[in-house]
């Protein structure tokens, strides 16, 4: 169990534990320890454990928590908030669903400890509405913990989300929770300064929160030792696409794609790996030459892609990469909030062009426009939030890696 802190206590059928069952497994012992520590001491442990956020950006969790003001030191009156983001919408991502459904008390434990560390008075677990079993499991776990007096003075509740990809951006999530259209906010001010209803707020992903109790239980050194790299702990990796047994696999941070694909039964289809995305739909493609790259935020970034959610999407030799990119782009065009011009105007145009290529109706001018758009929009910071950059990352790498396929579709269009 120590080697698999996130999933070692999970049941094969995903049936969640009752509170009594969870406590018999050592549950909430980390909460009791946290209550003997100051918020700063908890953050010291999290920083020493080298825990990076698991929601996509990989920002160090402890550093993020230090931005939160102590109680009574922020301007104005009102509570401070912790938001646990379970609005999982990234193409290829399904890790948080498992944690919410099978390990709800682990999520609540982590939320209690994180709320103490960040001086939060209220915790909100935001879960996409389609995850009905997860919502029910977390609500029941909250009820059991509250009845047993484990929450202390912390208020915690579940908020079912209408489900939009843009809500993965923390300021858009905050705007949506306030009842408005999910649109990102300008920063600064950052959420720790002015977040939900203008109050100090921390937003962390479900997996990040779920790892927190294990840092206190194991200690930061043992937690770091679970990883193969400088980024501490284990990771809940996912493998989907053209593999024989798609699934989730908890493994040391820094595990390679080769190992994960083997655990997923190997490549399906024609059995030949063409490419894979290392971090979900918004990550650039890697080829077979990157199979032995340690998969963590630093190594993947230095190799030219993004680790993101750590959910691999695999393409075999028989898969059509042009059609694959077209489906991706339709998703991002639909999920854009429409706030800024690059997303609102650019993504639907790119999606239409890719659809033409997938249908064999592409033109040379279309290919040149795709290349220009990818070059201009792929770098981060060219739009109001990172949605456009994330959408362009697979396009930019795909235009390079699958140039022959685009040329072949172009030839089809010219003959038509």
Which residue range forms the structural domain that includes residue 262? Answer: 234-316
Q: Residue 251 class from Cβ within 10 Å (0-12 exposed, 13-18 middle, 19+ buried)?
A: buried
- Report the CATH number at residue 35: 3.40.50.11540
Q: In which element (H, E) is residue 247 found?
A: strand 247-252
Q: Is residue 262 part of a domain?
A: yes
Is the domain of 325 the same as that of 312?
no
Instruction: Look up the pTM and report it.
Output: 0.95
Least Cα distance to 349 among 412, 381, 309, 392 occurs for: 392
Tokens of 322: 């042009």
Q: Of 268, 146, 284, which is closest to residue 276 (Cα–Cα)?
A: 284
Instruction: Check whether residue 326 and residue 265 sit in a common domain.
Output: no
316, 341, 361 — which closes off a domain?
Answer: 316
CATH number, position 252: 3.10.20.600
Question: Would you say 167 and 173 are in contact if contact means Cβ atoms under 8 Å apart?
Answer: yes
Q: Is residue 214 very low, low, confident or very high in pLDDT (cuts 50, 70, 90)?
A: very high
Classify 237 as helix, strand or coil: strand
SS3 content of the chain, % helix, strand, coil (to 5): 45, 15, 40
Q: Are strands 81-86 and 247-252 parallel, antiparallel or unpaired?
A: unpaired
Do 84 and 219 fall within a single domain? yes
Strands 234-241 and 311-316: parallel
Give pLDDT tens digits for 303-321: 999 999 999 999 999 999 9
- 326 and 257 in a single domain? The answer is no
Taking alpha carbons only, the member of 232, 31, 6, 235 closest to residue 117 is: 31
DSSP character string of 201-214: EEEEEHHHHHHHHH
Q: What pLDDT does residue 222 have?
A: 97
Angle between helices 403-415 and 347-358 (to 10 degrees): 70
Looking at the structure of the chain, the number of domains it has is 3
Cβ burial, residue 69 (10 Å; 0-12/13-18/19+) = middle
Q: How far is CA 113 from CA 21, 131, 154, 207, 376, in A?
A: 20, 24, 10, 14, 43
For residues 365 and 303, give the distance between their C-alpha atoms in angstroms, rounded to a whole number.
30
**243: Cβ contacts below 8 Å, ≥ 6 apart:** 261, 264, 265, 266, 267, 268, 314
Q: Are 187 and 215 members of one domain? A: yes
pLDDT of res. 40:
97
Q: Domain of 389: which CATH number?
A: 1.20.1440.230
Asked if residue 1 has pLDDT above 60, the reply is no
Residue 8 CA to residue 213 CA, distance in Å, equals 14
Are 272 and 207 part of one and the same domain?
no
Dihedral (Cα; 294, 298, 303, 306), 10-degree rounding? 100
Burial (CB count <10 Å: 0-12, 13-18, 19+), residue 323: middle
What pLDDT, in 10s, does the model give residues 146-161? Answer: 999 999 999 999 999 8
The answer, yes or no, to whether residue 192 has pLDDT greater than 60, is: yes
- Confidence band of 416 (pLDDT split at 50, 70, 90): low
378 pLDDT more than 80: no
Q: Which residue has the higher pLDDT, 37 or 76?
A: 37
Contact 84, 107 (CB under 8 A): yes
Q: Both 248 and 159 in a single domain?
A: no
Give residue 75's pLDDT: 84
Do residues 116 and 146 share a domain? yes
SS (H, E, C) 188-199: CCCCCCCCHHHC
For the record, the structure tokens of 149 come out as: 């007096």
Average pLDDT of 19-28? 97
Determine the pLDDT at residue 3: 85
* Boundary-marking domain end, from 206, 225, 244: 225
pLDDT of residue 288: 98
In DSSP terms, 286 is beta-bridged to 276
Last residue of a domain, one of 296, 316, 336: 316
Backbone phi, psi, residue 39, to 5°? -55, -40
Specify the range with the lowest mean pLDDT, choosing from 5-14, 132-141, 370-379. 370-379
Buried b or exposed e, range 225-239, using 16+ CB within 10 angstroms = ebbebebbbbbbbbb
pLDDT tens sequence across 91-117: 899 999 999 999 999 999 999 999 999
């Amino acid at each position: 169990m120590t080697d698999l802190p996130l999933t070692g206590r999970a049941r094969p059928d995903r049936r969640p534990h009752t509170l009594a069952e969870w406590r018999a497994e050592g549950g909430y012992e980390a909460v009791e320890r946290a209550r003997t520590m100051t918020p700063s001491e908890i953050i010291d442990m999290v920083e020493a454990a080298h825990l990076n956020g698991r929601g996509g950006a990989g920002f160090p969790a402890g550093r993020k928590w230090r931005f939160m003001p102590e109680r009574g030191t922020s301007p104005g009156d009102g509570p401070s908030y912790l938001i646990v983001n379970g609005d999982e919408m990234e193409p290829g991502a399904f890790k948080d669903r498992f944690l919410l459904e099978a390990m709800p008390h682990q999520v609540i434990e982590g939320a209690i400890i994180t709320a103490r560390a960040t001086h939060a008075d209220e915790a909100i677990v935001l879960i996409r509405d389609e995850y009905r079993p997860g919502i029910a499991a977390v609500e029941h776990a909250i009820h059991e913990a509250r009845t047993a007096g484990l929450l202390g003075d912390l208020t915690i509740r579940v908020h079912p989300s209408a489900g939009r990809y843009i809500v993965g951006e923390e300021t858009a999530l905050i705007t949506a929770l306030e009842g408005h259209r999910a649109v990102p906010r300008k920063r600064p001010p950052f959420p720790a300064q002015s977040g939900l209803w203008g109050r100090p707020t921390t937003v962390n992903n479900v997996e990040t929160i779920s790892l927190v109790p294990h840092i206190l239980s194991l200690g930061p050194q043992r937690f770091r030792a679970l990883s193969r790299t400088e980024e501490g702990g284990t990771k809940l990796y996912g493998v989907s696409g053209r593999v024989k047994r798609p699934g989730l696999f908890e493994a040391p941070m820094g595990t390679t794609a080769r190992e994960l694909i083997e655990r997923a039964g190997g490549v399906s289809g024609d059995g030949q790996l063409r490419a894979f995305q290392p971090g979900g739909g918004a990550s650039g493609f890697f080829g077979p030459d990157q199979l032995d790259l340690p998969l963590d935020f630093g190594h993947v970034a230095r190799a030219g892609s993004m680790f993101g959610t750590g959910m691999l999407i695999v393409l075999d030799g028989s898969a059509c990469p042009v059609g694959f990119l077209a489906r991706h782009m339709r998703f991002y065009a639909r999920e854009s909030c429409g706030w800024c011009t690059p997303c609102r105007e650019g993504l639907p145009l790119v999606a239409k062009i890719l659809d033409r290529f997938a249908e064999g109706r592409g033109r040379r001018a279309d290919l040149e426009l795709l290349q220009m758009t990818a070059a201009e929009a792929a770098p981060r910071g060219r739009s109001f939030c990172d949605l456009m950059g994330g959408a362009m990352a697979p396009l930019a790498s795909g235009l390079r890696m699958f140039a022959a396929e685009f040329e072949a579709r172009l030839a089809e269009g010219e003959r038509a």
